[in-house]
Amino acid sequence: MAQKSVRRSQAITPFGIGALVDFPGQSLMAAGLDVWPNQPECQICDDRLARRLGVEYFRSPPPSPQEGHQGAYLPFVRFPLWHFCPRCRTMKNANWNDAYLPRCDSTLRPLRTGAPPCETLPERKRWRMVPLRFVVACENGHIDDFPWISWAHSRPGQLLEGANVCSDPLLRFNYTGKAGLMGLLVKCERCNAKARSMMGSAGPNSLKGLKCEGRRPWLGPHGKETCPSADPPRMLQRGATNLHFSKIASSILIPPFSDPIRKIVDDSHNWSVLTSGVEEGGTLDEMRLRIFAEMKKLDFQHLKEVVAQKLTGVGLGNSTQTEEDYRFSEYKAMLESPSTTEQEFITVKPEMSNYEDEICKYIDQIVLVKKLAETRVLTGFSRINPPPYREFDQNDQSQLSLQSKPWLPGVRVYGEGIFFTLKKSKINEWLNEADNRRYEEIFANHKRIYINLGRKPREIPSTFFLLHTLAHILIRRLSYECGYGSSSLRERIYCWEGDNREMNGILIYTAAGDSEGTMGGLVEQGKPGRFELLLNNALEDALWCSTDPLCVESHGQGIDSLNRAACHACTLLPETSCEEGNRFLDRVALIGRPDKISLGFFNQIVMKFLSGATDQ
């Protein structure tokens, strides 16, 4: 079988385990971890994230085999199994592990007059069949082929379980030229049942009477389980965006975990040498450590501290740690870490006195992150509905493999970024002036949706709308200023109110480069003289939207109506950029309303723009 190409990072998201990948003429599904190749050199260590997710380490997808490098291929299974001949439209069900596309062997007369039927040709010259584009899935992550046989033998309004199926069905998939699903017909040629169109198959209860079989084809023939849902599965198309939602946990490598000595300690061979005969929490063999330090030319005391921390787990957190606690460690590292050229986390703090006074009224601190390393890990996935954000359940890992694994699939990427915090005094002024009723409807929508899905609603402070929207307009502007596409820039919002974890920062970064990071274009935009221009241009862009006044006066738009004044024309970003799925956005939090500019956090800058436009 010919090898197909998927980038290593794409094997985590968007084409992670359980996701469908369309290749020319065929459709494949990424297989589970049970059949992943074992490549020791692909191990990724991030103790802080591993402890939180309850695993020992992470493993990246292996590189493809090349001359002088062994490498390995990731496994895929064929799905969906139902195919049809593009010539005679005959349908055929393939086996789950077929290496090659099925070929047509129909005895039916072809659609085109005078064309020879498929069986008159040698097998190697028969037409290759192509996968049908309809499947069924349920909210518990199960997926199966569309019930073609039952559908072809049933009538509209009839339960599929009551369909009168003939003993030896032979189906044909025809296209009549009508628009939409109405033009697609399925007919059993064996019993000559009346053809049925696909119209009416896409609703939530269209397949009433069909029980989810609990199939998990990515885990092989033994992946089937009992589905707890009593609701029928839903018909989805192969390319539907809600067919697979990757559940990603990400972490910025911060000191002391970015220390270069940890790379040496994290190596599986070195770790076994350093801790041979030492149980978890036990006493280290100092003689062994001294010999190792001399061999590797390392500082003994530093090595001892790193090994002791890794062995005892002190300061690494655990699986009960909240997302706010986890991010607060990164937040402090951004503000407090000294600049160094020996770590994978290199920051520089420009003097705020070098920035314009107008900007310093709003921005408390700017940090140029010249190099950062991010670990992205696939912890599970969902279908139909997006997974709950910032909630990680170790039961999700059962979706990825039949047997429990001490590791999860992930990738380590390097890049650069700009981190900045807003002044707390200005935030308090904005909160006193802001119309909190604007967000009460959003909070109510969010609560209702989560309760319907059986989830606990998140606590979302009003400040989150301010920080999140500001990150979006800056990313949109940065795509013009520094040459990065908006899809290659990402946000990381640090927002929390109260207790000792108060945060109000934004990290905008790119993490798509090699181990040396990227070329510095993003960091340049955070320097004095450039950041002021960046922020002013971004705010000026946010003043105007081609869909105004509908956008600025909206009471709820976007996914689940969780946005206020935010649409594709002014604020939304590609899926790869926004960690919230383009939700919880509002331009008014930044620039105010035309009739009340004071509602915006940057109202003084906006008034300056408007007065300048009036003077002209």
Tell me the pLDDT tens digit for each residue of 362-374. 999 999 999 888 9
Q: Is the pLDDT of residue 281 over 70?
A: no
Residue 112 has pLDDT above 50, yes or no: no
pLDDT above 50 for 616: no
Q: Structural domain boundaries of the chain? A: 254-312, 323-615
pLDDT at 613: 55
Q: Look at the chain and count its residues.
A: 616
Q: Is the per-residue pLDDT at 178 higher than 50?
A: yes
8 Å CB contact between 359 and 426: no
Position 124 scores a pLDDT of 61
Q: Band of the pLDDT at 296, cuts 50, 70, 90?
A: confident
C-alpha distance from residue 37 to each of 42, 301, 313, 520 (Å): 10, 38, 29, 36
**The pLDDT of residue 275:** 73
Q: Residue 353: what pLDDT?
A: 92
Which has more confidence, 65 or 136?
A: 136
**pLDDT for the residue 113:** 41
What was the pLDDT predicted at 114? 43
Please spell the DSSP secondary structure of 21-84, one letter per residue.
Answer: EEETTEEEEE--GGG----GGGEE--HHHHHHHT-SEEEPPPPPPBTTB------EEE---EEE
pLDDT above 90 covers a percentage of the chain that reads 25
| 58-72, 205-219, 232-246, 528-542: segment of lowest average pLDDT | 58-72
d(Cα 119, Cα 102) in Å, to the nearest integer? 14
Quote the CA–CA distance of 167 and 189 in Å, as a whole number. Answer: 12
pLDDT above 90: residue 143: yes
Provide the pLDDT for residue 311. Answer: 72
Statement: residue 285 has pLDDT above 70 = yes
508, 474 Cβ separation under 8 angstroms:
yes
pLDDT for position 181: 84
Distance of CA 309 to the CA centre of its chain: 31
- Determine which of 131-145, 252-266, 438-452, 473-487 has the lowest per-residue pLDDT on average: 252-266
pLDDT, average across residues 149-156: 86
Backbone angles phi, psi at 168, to 5 degrees: -140, 75
Rg (CA), the chain: 28
Q: Give residue 111's pLDDT.
A: 45
Q: What share of the chain is helix, strand, coil (3-state, %, to 5)?
A: 30, 20, 50
Q: Please, is 102 exposed, middle or buried when counting C-beta atoms within 10 Å of its C-beta (0-12, 13-18, 19+)?
A: buried
Q: Is the pLDDT of residue 198 over 80?
A: yes
Lowest mean pLDDT among 287-301, 352-366, 566-580: 287-301
- Please tell me which residue, 340 or 133, carries the higher pLDDT value: 133
Confidence category of residue 513, pLDDT binned at 50, 70, 90: low
Say what the alpha-carbon torsion angle 279, 283, 285, 286 is, to the nearest 10 degrees.
Answer: 150
**439 pLDDT higher than 80:** yes
Q: Residue 119 above 70 pLDDT?
A: no
pLDDT band at 526 (very low <50, low <70, confident <90, very high): very high
Contact 212, 229 (CB under 8 A): yes
Q: Provide the pLDDT for residue 366.
A: 95
d(CA 44, CA 413): 11
CA torsion 369-379-275-325 (nearest 10°) is: 50
Average pLDDT value over all residues in the chain: 83
Mean pLDDT, to the nearest integer, of 365-389?
89
Compute the Cα dihedral for 75, 80, 84, 86 and give only its sign: negative
Query: Picking from 90-99, 109-118, 531-540, which range would have the lowest pLDDT averaged per residue?
Result: 109-118
Q: What is the pTM of this model?
A: 0.85
* Residue 68 or 206, more confident: 206
**How many other C-beta atoms are found inside a 10 Å radius of the C-beta of residue 242?**
13
Instruction: Decide which of 256 and 254 is more confident.
Output: 254
Distance CA 483, CA 521 (A): 8
- Tokens 């939090």 locate to 589
Share of the chain above pLDDT 70, in %: 87
- Binned at pLDDT 50, 70 and 90, residue 106 comes out as low
